[in-house]
Amino acid sequence: MIEARGLTKRYGRTVAVNALSFTVQPGRVTGFLGPNGAGKSTTMRMILGLDRPSAGEVRIGGRRYTELKEPLREVGALLEAKWVHPNRSARAHLRWMAASNRIAAKRVDEVLDAVGLTAVAGRRAGSYSLGMAQRLGIAVALLGDPGVLLFDEPVNGLDPEGILWIRQFMHRLADEGRTVFVSSHLLSEMALTAQDLVVIGRGRLIAQTSTKSFIESAADSSVRVRGPELARLHSVLAGQGLAVQEQAATEDTPAVLVVRGSSTEAVGELAGAVGLVLHELTESRGSLEQAFIQMTGGEVEYQAGGGTAPAASGVAVPVDAQGALAPPGPVSGAPGFPPPGAVPAPGGGSGPAATRETASRGGQEGPAQ
């Protein structure tokens, strides 16, 4: 389990992560969702002790990273692929990692097998495709057989086959009882990968919930219904207090009623009760993209459509001359979601010792181990 409490990170006047509290449960894939620059990587680096929080803390299995005796056996991470020395083979790299962490050499073959790299383990890592490099990064994360795994944007740049493989692999790891925390700005991908979501915008918590409820509560769901007696159907449904809109017929489509805030069951039963024939009764479920835009109230700009093109602007919250945060950030405590800060405080304490602050964003490297 990962527990963040009041986690905050400032870089000068930029507040990258702002009083973030959330819990990541074992046995599930939890998506860490937010547009580019929302603070996902910074949060992950703080979880791994690579960045020191400006305030708040994060615990892994109840302990701070610095208190973990053998971190590689407790938490594994894939922060960035392609960080392996290009002239080193995957096997040599893993053996070196294993030896320097007192992990048995036979574990190297196990993880190579688990990620499907055995056949190419002797090749120079520099010759690997991005998908292969990601698999190698995952193999490194698994070396210590940790119960907690962090993956930062693991599907970025991968082809559909690579994306599917990663998705299935994450599910397998969660089924083994591990805590799997995976960040992405690809909303559509997270809808398929994650059972739970921690959603952030501008460094602040927007929602922590199951993916299903996130979509159901925030996305614009409606029921489409049509039949030969549309006007009568309209008045029956409206007579029951339902919000009904008629969509006029076009050349290709017949006229249809769109009912919001109801279900196919309720609409079907109301029609059946007065003997009305139906030719269509369909639920139209909103997408995660819609949910995200609705939850953030437009404050975090997000451009849907392939889910790959977030707006670059407005992703960090500036502080004013007094150091106060301004503006207050995106919508929190929206209907159906716990407000930020719902996670119980695991106790005070200082930040991790293995801190590495980077002056620019180019400084990220491999995992903490």
Ligand X SMILES: Nc1ncnc2c1ncn2[C@@H]1O[C@H](COP(=O)(O)OP(=O)(O)OP(=O)(O)O)[C@@H](O)[C@H]1O
Work out whether 358 is an interface residue with ligand X (CB under 6 A).
Answer: yes
If DSSP codes are grouped into helix, strand and coil, which group holds residue 360? coil
31-39, 64-72, 75-83, 299-307 -> range binding ligand X (CB under 6 A): 31-39
**Residue placing its CB nearer to ligand X in the complex, 264 or 355:** 355
Which segments of 258-325 does DSSP mark as H helices, in order?
264-273, 288-296
Rank residues 14 and 101 by Cβ distance to ligand X and give the closer one: 14
CB of 351 to ligand X, least distance (A): 15
Q: Work out whether 14 is an interface residue with ligand X (CB under 6 A).
A: yes
CB of 17 to ligand X, least distance (A): 7
The answer to whether 42 contacts ligand X (rule: CB under 6 A) is yes
Q: Is 11 in the site for ligand X (CB under 6 A)?
A: yes
- Look-up: residue for tokens 């009083």? 19
Radius of gyration of the chain (CA): 24
Pairing of strands 28-33, 317-318: unpaired
- Applying CB under 6 A, among 23, 41, 222, 296 the residue interacting with ligand X is 41
CA distance 46 to 53: 6
Tell me whether residue 187 or residue 259 sits nearer to ligand X (CB atom).
187
Residue 317 near residue 325, CB atoms below 8 Å: yes
Q: Under the criterion CB under 6 A, does residue 307 sit at the interface with ligand X?
A: no
> Does 4 engage in binding with ligand X (CB under 6 A)?
no
| Residue 356 makes contact with ligand X by CB under 6 A | no
Tell me which stretch binds ligand X (CB under 6 A): 33-41, 60-68, 114-122, 158-166: 33-41
Each residue of 98-125: b (16+ CB within 10 Å) or e? beeeebeeebbeebbebbebeebbeeeb
Q: Which residue has the tokens 């964003």?
A: 361
Report the nearest approach of ligand X to the CB of residue 366 (Å): 16
- Residues near 222 by beta carbon (within 8 Å), at least 6 away in sequence: 258, 259, 260, 283, 284
Q: Which residues contact 152 (CB under 8 A, 6 or more apart)?
A: 40, 41, 44, 77, 78, 79, 80, 183
Q: How far is the CB of 232 from ligand X (least distance, A)?
A: 52
97 to 40, 72, 112: CA distances (angstroms): 26, 10, 13
In contact, 56 and 9? CB cutoff 8 Å: no
Which one, 176 or 365, has the nearer CB to ligand X? 365
- d(CA 112, CA 125) in angstroms, rounded, equals 13
Instruction: Tell me whether residue 14 or residue 290 sits nearer to ligand X (CB atom).
Output: 14
Number of residues that bind ligand X (CB under 6 A): 16
Q: How far is the CB of 337 from ligand X (least distance, A)?
A: 20
121-180: which residues touch ligand X (CB under 6 A)? none
Candidates 34-42, 103-111, 137-145, 206-214; binding stretch for ligand X (CB under 6 A): 34-42
Residue from the set 31, 37, 144, 147 that interacts with ligand X by CB under 6 A: 37
User: Would you tell me which residues interact with ligand X (CB under 6 A)?
Assistant: 11, 14, 16, 34, 36-42, 185, 315-316, 358, 361
